[in-house]
A and B are shown apart, each in its own frame.
Chain A
Amino acid sequence: MAELSFLTFRGNIIVALHGEMTDSSVRNFQSHLLEEIERIHARGLIIDISALEFVDSYMARVFVETAKMAQLMDTRTVLVGMKPEIAITLIQMGLSFEGVFSAVNLDRGLEILEKERARKRGRR
């Protein structure tokens, strides 16, 4: 897989995945991402998977896991641009995506993060 690039936008990290990912590159992605969250104290995280060829069960589990880890670091995660066929496969495999937000596109993803932040402020 090509080098990962993490974009920062208004305190959120945006990362786009593309092509094919091996199990090791998925693990690599997870650890680098979490380090980046720690480094910049990210408030939100957006993972754009619209250019991914496929998502297997391992990758899906890692995404959910990463979202939970990020949650522990007070960072909300949004999965953006999942293709219908991928969604159907993952659901039919019986995977649970609890704790992960989903959005149709990047705009919506940012919107969800804004809303979550507003909700948190309101609670305080």
Chain B
Amino acid sequence: MSDKTNEKNKLETLEKRVQELEKENAGLKATLEQEAQEHEKVSMDLAIGLSEAFVVLQKISQGDFSVRASEDVENELLARLGVVINRTNDALSAAKAQTQNMIKELATPVIRVWDEVLVLPLIGTLDSQRAQHVMETLLERITKDGARIVILDITGVPYVDSLVAANIAQTMEAVKLVGAEGMLTGIRAQVAQTLVKMGVKITGVETKSNLAEGLKEAFRRLGVKAIQEKQPGD
């Protein structure tokens, strides 16, 4: 009799144990599923975030500094990536702006060679943007300094296109309008050909072969005399 009850009791405990295990198993399965889902979501977020970051980087590499990577995302890694990209972007665009400014300044050196005489030596190729900048800078200086004579020396300009030729003619006209006399020196053979072939009229502007001749003419107009007191070597 006692053996039978014992057996029954054992069976009951075992059944209970099985039930408990089953419950535990179900719980574990649920957590696993949940974790798998979360994992999937994170990797999805990462993939989307990374592809967005790539698009931004690609635009930056093409010189478009107006794009921003998103820094305000849930994923910490992506947020950090965004911050780094944006910082790099800022640094690059600042450097580019600085270089452009420097080129602009170097490209238009207006020099006062005598009282009321300005010289602007142009070197290298001229595009219409630079020609426009030259015109603005020169006119500003004329009004500021009250210059009488302006010599535009284009010895260093090997060739011009039609737009630039027109721009030079316009600059000379504008110089006259603000109240100074313009002079053009150092026109190269190639440039002279272009100007005439394209019918660009540069009216009322004295042209001299080189800067020295231009300066002499400026002195003549101002009534300034340069006297050579000694022969070189004496």
Contact = CB atoms under 8 A, between A and B. Distances in A.
Interface stretch (A25-33, A34-42, A80-88): A80-88
A92 B170 contact: yes
B147 interface: yes
Contacts of B146: 104-105, 108
Interface stretch (B13-21, B58-66, B177-185): B177-185
Contact of A91 (B140, B143, B148, B173): B173
A88 B147 contact: no
B176 A83 contact: no
A103 B179 contact: yes
A6 interface: no
Interface residues on B, range: 10 to 19
A82 B135 contact: no
B179 A88 contact: no
Interface string B34-71: 00000000000000000000000000000000000000
Given A88-B135, A88-B136, A104-B146, A97 B177 contact: yes
A69 interface: no
A104 B178 contact: yes
A87 B177 contact: yes
Nearest to A94: B170
A21 interface: no
Interface in A100-115: 102-105, 108-109
Nearest to B137: A84
A62 interface: no
A90 interface: yes
B143 A104 contact: yes
Given A102-B176, A104-B178, A83 B143 contact: yes
A84 B136 contact: yes
Interface in B169-194: 170, 173-174, 176-180
B179 A82 contact: yes
A79 B139 CA distance: 16
B143 A102 contact: no
B215 interface: no
Contacts of A104: 142-143, 146-148, 178-180
A57 to B, nearest CB: 14
A58 B94 CA distance: 43
Interface of A: 79-85, 87-88, 90-92, 97, 102-105, 108-109
Given A84-B142, A104-B180, 13 more contacts: A81-B143, A84-B136, A84-B139, A88-B135, A91-B174, A92-B170, A97-B173, A102-B178, A103-B179, A104-B143, A104-B147, A104-B178, A108-B146
**What 3 pairs between A and B have smallest CB-CB spacing?**
A84-B139, A104-B179, A103-B179
